[in-house]
Amino acid sequence: MVDTTKNTKLFTSYGVTTSKAINPDMAAKMISKAKRPLLVVGTGVLRPEILDRAVKIAKKANIPIAATGSSLNGFLDKDVDAKYINVHQLGFYLTDPAWPGLDGKGNYDTIIVLEFKKYYINQVLSGTRNFSKVKSISIGKDYVQNATMSFGTISREEHFVALDELIDLL
Amino acid sequence: MSNLTTGSFSIEDLESVQITINNIVGAAKEAADEKAKDLGPLGPSTWPGLATYRDDWNLKLLARYEPVITPMCDQCCYCTYGPCDLSNNKRGACGIDMLGHNGREFFLRVITGTACHAAHGRHLLDHLIEVFGEDLPLKLGQSDVLTPNITITTGQRPMTLGEIKPAMEFTEEQLTQLLATVHAGQESAEIDYDSKALFSGSLDHVGMEISDIVQIAALDFPKADPEAPLIEMGVGTIDKEKPFLCVIGHNVGGVTYMMDYMEEHDLTDKMELGGLCCTAIDLTRYKEADRRAPYTKVIGSMSQELKIIRTGLPDVIVVDEQCVRGDIVPEAQKLGIPVIASNAKIMYGLPSRDDQDVDATIEELKSGAIPGAVILDYDKLGEIAVRLTQVMHPIRQAAGFRTIASDEQMKEWVDKCADCGSCYLVCPEELEIPEAMKHAKEGDYSYLVDLHDQCIGCRRCEQVCKKEIPILSVIEKASQKVIAEEKGWMRAGRGQVSDAEIRSEGLNLVMGTTPGIIAIIGCPNYGDGAKSVYYIAEEFLKRNYIVVGTGCGSMDMGMYKDENGQTLYERFPGGFQSGGLVNIGSCVSNAHITGAAQKVAAIFGGRTMGGNLAEIADYVLNRVGACGLAWGAFSQKAASIGTGCNIYGIPAVLGPHSSKYRRALIAKNYDDEKWKVYDARNGEEMAIPPAPEFLLITAETWQEAIPMMAKACIRPSDNSMGRSIKLTHWMELHAKYIGGMPDDWWKFIRTEADLPLAKRADLMKKLEEEKGWEIDWKRKKIISGPKIKFDVSAQPTNLKRLCKEA
Ligand code: SF4
Ligand code: SF4
Ligand code: SF4
């Protein structure tokens, strides 16, 4: 029989492009490959189990943290390089090659996003996706369509395990 | 074309000819122009068109506050060339790119909001002129400047209802021009959609101003009254034993007839009349100019519409226009509540009963033969709504419609949950319903109760639940106790800020000694629950900011109490003063917030108002520390209100959902080129601190929003005491809600006197050590370091044309 199912590519776009769903190993590989990575965390990171893991990621991979929303308080005594910035503002600055970054050393090539309401980070990332070359990797528990790559939607418990696996692989 | 304006004319040699002239197109404007000759000096932009503000002001604003586009999807499907994939800023078949198209999308929201307010204004204006006549004077309180938005835009100073007509016609005409640009193959540059959006925003405040001043004048609303009465608020204040007439929407026109009927028939204590959304605010303003004892109630914000219906309490629902849910009829029908549509903008497919006898209509609705009716005749509406409520009450009581689900029913629902997660996925607030259900199965309903304050009552969850659990009802049933306690107070909307208040606060605001105006406005699509606006308001009030509110924001601020059982409206005075909580009124009253800032420029700053938008806005941007908060903005109207604030130089922080408007205005705080203005005394460039950093932005949490707003109140013109006070608040709030010191606090320091008083020595040390600034420790002075200079008589402006030597 002729395989009539093999090419279902749409002739035009309906809705949005979706991100590539990835496992922790792929996320770890992308993070390790990045030249100027930035860990972007939302206020949800203050949940103790997540905060602990975010700190481990930052330390193990030696990544600075953009502590957005009201999340900075969680990092002040954690011996990590965390700075506050509004995430909407950050999304805009990421699209500007001239942005000196949070440390004055220039813009970033990869952002890793964690613990936002999905609708919010998704909207912010629609800007970076369409108007910059920055790669975004979502390692939260919700699938984020506008990221370049993202974990799928998983339960809280699965999420903890996935982050632990990711940390091990860094 | 005739050159006739108003007045009489005669035609000779005609016999037996009847000529009827209803309205001469453009005549009102011509007559008004004639009158304008006595108005004194006018600026360059009376009766502006699409291009008027563009080069002189809008593009200057947009050069610093750059459009930040966050598209909703990849696609445009406006015309049949499409749909086109615009991802990565590709161009569609017509040539427009992703940026341009999303600029158009944002613009479309702004003009939709503008149209809503303008249409609201038109309806009220025509209705009130019909009832009260054109000559009714605009008595709005102790002010000479009655119509700042109309005056700035058109140069007119209307004094009567009739004299508003030219500004109304003008707004409608420009809206047609604006709408035309959305068509495929029209405007395609993103930046020009932004400029047009800003223009539309300015018109929006004209439309809102018209809507509110005509009702204040004709319907005897409080007139700039800081002591307008306190109004009972919340579903907990409804006496369940009484018939309950529930009104929903924004246009108070029809409701006044219900109130008149109740008053004439001595029914004010025999039934409840309460409202949701802005109709609620405005019905509690009706005839309150003399502060009579109020009897109507505010039930709550738009997000309570379904929740209130699900309580079964309303015996009749009357809807008018704007922010009214599309499923009121089917939801009400399930509980035997007749729905009356009272405004032609929402008719719900219901049969019209304007031509039928009142008794027959009541009989028909009572029988349930029709689920509701359209009644646009206000005399009939007033009588039918009130009488039907009394008729329905015992019938619905007997049928058990006024009681909510039993405990057994509740258990049955909760036990059905399969923990599939579908509801979580679609809930716009991302509420953890499955988790709450799990706990509820084990008998712990507290997780469900926690959802109540954050749930916007949208019913998206119920529609995907394969187990057909009425999730909203489950949340509300679990929260029964909390809901019964939902009782608050709100000061009745007081209308404009008076000239006297501006005179006494103007200096403090321009110098910065009153740290700022915080405007809490708009709708209830909060990312973190309704209580957030209460926390925000309380924090700023305690710090002596002036907090003004409108609409659903004003309601939610009053719904919560402190440890002494007092609401914010009881704790803080209602005047436009340092530490005052000023409920201006409903959504259309937002025009008085821009109006207040404009009046600071005109009355305090001595700027010409008429036809002088750029100069007024320039003054506000550089000198009036004000910041809006539309924390739950969901509607197109919120987009137009915010954009109207933006063109006048007032920044606004929005809640996280508002990223879905697709366009923000954010400045590059790291680019020194953006932070320069002219000194009007000599035209020289002067460096200013990066504030405000944005005109439109979102924040993730209410805790984040607070320091952002405090920072956005900093202005180039602050004197040292003002700067020091503003920095004190911002830095304290940053430490409290974000943590630590902000990274860029030093950018705002011009001299040692700018430093927060309590920490002056510490901070000077930091400047020396971390920034290499030179300090004279003996004289405790900064010798060198700051990029910005302090000059008490500098006149910061973005308009080169205002400079003397330019
Ligand atoms: S308006 Fe332009 S971009 Fe949109 S569908 Fe038509 S051709 Fe495509
Ligand atoms: S009704 Fe409430 S819980 Fe359900 S989807 Fe809407 S906001 Fe979420
Ligand atoms: S959709 Fe229904 S069954 Fe599924 S988790 Fe939600 S409440 Fe339970």
Chain segment B611-649, per-residue pLDDT in tens: 999 999 999 999 999 999 999 999 999 999 999 999 999
Mean pLDDT of B18-41: 60
Going B571 to B577 to B578 to B581, the CA torsion angle's sign is positive
pLDDT tens, B522-539? Answer: 888 888 888 999 999 999
Q: Do B700 and A92 touch (CB under 8 A)?
A: no
B contact residues 688-747, partner A, Cβ 8 Å cutoff: 693-694, 697-701, 703-704, 708, 737-740, 742-743
Q: With beta carbons less than 8 A apart as the criterion, state whether A150 and A138 touch.
A: yes
Q: Please tell me whether residue A166 adopts helix, strand or coil conformation.
A: helix
Which pLDDT value is given to residue B1? Answer: 39
pLDDT score of B24 more than 90: no
As a whole number of angstroms, the distance between CA B121 and CA B255 comes to 16
pLDDT score of B737 more than 90: yes
Token pair in block for residue B77 = 């499907």
Residue of B nearest to A83 (CA): B743
- List chain B residues with CB under 8 Å of A13: 74-75, 83-87
Single-letter residue type at B445: Y
Mean pLDDT of B288-316: 95
Q: Does the Cβ of B49 fall within 6 Å of ligand 3?
A: no
Q: Do B737 and A42 touch (CB under 8 A)?
A: no
Going B763 to B767 to B768 to B774, the CA torsion angle's sign is negative
The mean pLDDT of chain B is 94
Task: Quote the strand ranges of B125-270, DSSP E.
Answer: 230-233, 244-248
pLDDT tens, B223-264? Answer: 999 999 999 999 999 999 999 999 999 999 999 999 999 999
Q: Does the Cβ of B328 fall within 6 Å of ligand 1?
A: no
Token pair in block for residue B792 = 């008490």
pLDDT tens, B788-798? Answer: 988 888 999 99
Q: Does the Cβ of B99 fall within 6 Å of ligand 1?
A: no
Q: Which residues are within 8 A (CB) of A10 and not within 5 positions of it... i.e. 6 or more apart?
A: none
Q: Does the Cβ of B388 fall within 6 Å of ligand 2?
A: no
* Residue B179, min C-alpha distance to chain A (Å): 25
Mean pLDDT of B144-161: 96
Q: Please tell me whether residue B641 adopts helix, strand or coil conformation.
A: helix
> What is the rounded (10 degree) CA torsion for B33, B37, B38, B39?
70
Q: Please tell me whether residue B273 adopts helix, strand or coil conformation.
A: strand
pLDDT tens, A7-43? Answer: 777 766 667 778 999 999 999 999 999 999 999 999 9
How does DSSP assign B306-374, residue by residue?
HHHHHHT--SEEEE-SSS--TTHHHHHHHTT--EEE-BTTB-TTPPB-TTS-HHHHHHHHHHTSSSEEE
- Nearest listed ligand to the Cα of residue B465: 3
Paired residues of B230 in beta bridges? B491
Q: How many A from CA of B471 to the centre of ligand 2?
A: 8
pLDDT score of B20 more than 60: no
Chain A interface mutation, best of B76, B698, B700, B701, highest count of A Cβ atoms under 10 Å: B700
Paired residues of B518 in beta bridges? B547, B627
B contact residues 70-99, partner A, Cβ 8 Å cutoff: 70-75, 82-89, 98-99
Q: Does the Cβ of B582 fall within 6 Å of ligand 2?
A: no
Q: Please tell me whether residue B687 adopts helix, strand or coil conformation.
A: strand
Supply the DSSP symbol for B743: T
Residue of A nearest to B90 (CA): A130
As a whole number of angstroms, the distance between CA B98 and CA B74 comes to 8
How many beta-carbon pairs below 8 A join chains A and B? 128
Q: SS3 for B78-98, per residue?
A: CCCCCCEECHHHCECCCCCEH
- List chain B residues with CB under 8 Å of A116: 700
Which pLDDT value is given to residue A11? Answer: 67
Q: How many A from CA of B634 to the centre of ligand 3?
A: 26
Q: Which residues are within 8 A (CB) of B292 and not within 5 positions of it... i.e. 6 or more apart?
A: B229
Nearest residue (by CA) to ligand 1, atom 2, is B94
Which pLDDT value is given to residue A14? Answer: 64
Q: How many A from CA of B461 to the centre of ligand 3?
A: 8
| Phi and psi angles of residue B453, each rounded to the nearest 5 degrees, phi first | -70, -30
Cα–Cα separations (whole angstroms), residue B593 to A56, B2, B157, B576, B699: 48, 40, 18, 11, 22
Q: With beta carbons less than 8 A apart as the criterion, state whether B707 and A85 touch.
A: no
Which pLDDT value is given to residue B2? Answer: 45
* Residue whose entry in the numeric block shows the structure tokens 């007997």: B398
| Phi and psi angles of residue B781, each rounded to the nearest 5 degrees, phi first | -125, 150
pLDDT tens, A110-169? Answer: 999 999 999 999 999 999 999 999 999 999 999 999 999 999 999 999 999 999 999 999
Q: Do B739 and A73 touch (CB under 8 A)?
A: yes
As a whole number of angstroms, the distance between CA A50 and CA B506 comes to 48
* Residue whose entry in the numeric block shows the structure tokens 């319907």: B219
Mean pLDDT of B489-502: 95
Q: Please tell me whether residue B491 adopts helix, strand or coil conformation.
A: strand
pLDDT tens, B548-600? Answer: 999 999 999 999 999 999 999 999 999 999 999 999 999 999 999 999 999 99
Q: Please tell me whether residue A1 adopts helix, strand or coil conformation.
A: coil
Which pLDDT value is given to residue A17? Answer: 79
As a whole number of angstroms, the distance between CA B359 and CA B337 comes to 18
Residue of B nearest to A89 (CA): B666
Q: Which of B80, B81, B98 to mutate to test the pocket of ligand 1 (most atoms within 8 A of CB)?
A: B81
Q: Looking at the partner chain, which of B69, B88, B700 has a beta carbon nearest the beta carbon of A87?
A: B700
Q: Looking at the partner chain, which of A12, A86, A117 has a beta carbon nearest the beta carbon of B704?
A: A86
pLDDT score of B9 more than 70: no
Which pLDDT value is given to residue B6? Answer: 53
Cα–Cα separations (whole angstroms), residue B357 to B264, B340, B362, B363, B410: 20, 15, 9, 10, 43
As a whole number of angstroms, the distance between CA B145 and CA B499 comes to 7
Buried b (16+ CB within 10 A) or exposed e, B472-510: bbbbbbbbbeebeebbbbbbbbbbbbbbebbeebbebbb
pLDDT tens, B62-108? Answer: 999 999 999 999 999 999 999 999 999 999 999 999 999 999 999 99
Which pLDDT value is given to residue B23? Answer: 57
The mean pLDDT of chain A is 95
Q: Please tell me whether residue B181 adopts helix, strand or coil conformation.
A: coil
Q: Do B85 and A118 touch (CB under 8 A)?
A: no
Q: Do B73 and A16 touch (CB under 8 A)?
A: yes
* Residue B89, min C-alpha distance to chain A (Å): 6
Q: Does the Cβ of B77 fall within 6 Å of ligand 1?
A: yes
Which pLDDT value is given to residue B12? Answer: 63
By percentage, how much of chain B surpasses pLDDT 70?
95
Q: With beta carbons less than 8 A apart as the criterion, state whether B645 and B613 touch.
A: no
* Residue A41, min C-alpha distance to chain B (Å): 11
B contact residues 99-128, partner A, Cβ 8 Å cutoff: 99
Q: With beta carbons less than 8 A apart as the criterion, state whether A39 and A57 touch.
A: yes
Which pLDDT value is given to residue A13? Answer: 60
Which pLDDT value is given to residue B510? Answer: 82
Mean pLDDT of B375-386: 98
pLDDT tens, B155-176? Answer: 999 999 999 999 999 999 999 9
Q: Does the Cβ of B98 fall within 6 Å of ligand 1?
A: no
- pTM to 2 decimals? 0.95
Tell whether omega for the bond before B692 is within 30 degrees of 0, i.e. cis.
yes
pLDDT tens, B414-441? Answer: 999 999 999 999 999 999 999 999 999 9
* Residue whose entry in the numeric block shows the structure tokens 């029914």: B267
Mark out chain A residues that contact chain B at CB-CB < 8 A. Answer: 12-17, 42-43, 68-70, 72-73, 75-76, 83-84, 86-89, 91-93, 96, 98-100, 116-120, 123-124, 126-127, 129-131, 142, 153
Q: Do B738 and A84 touch (CB under 8 A)?
A: yes
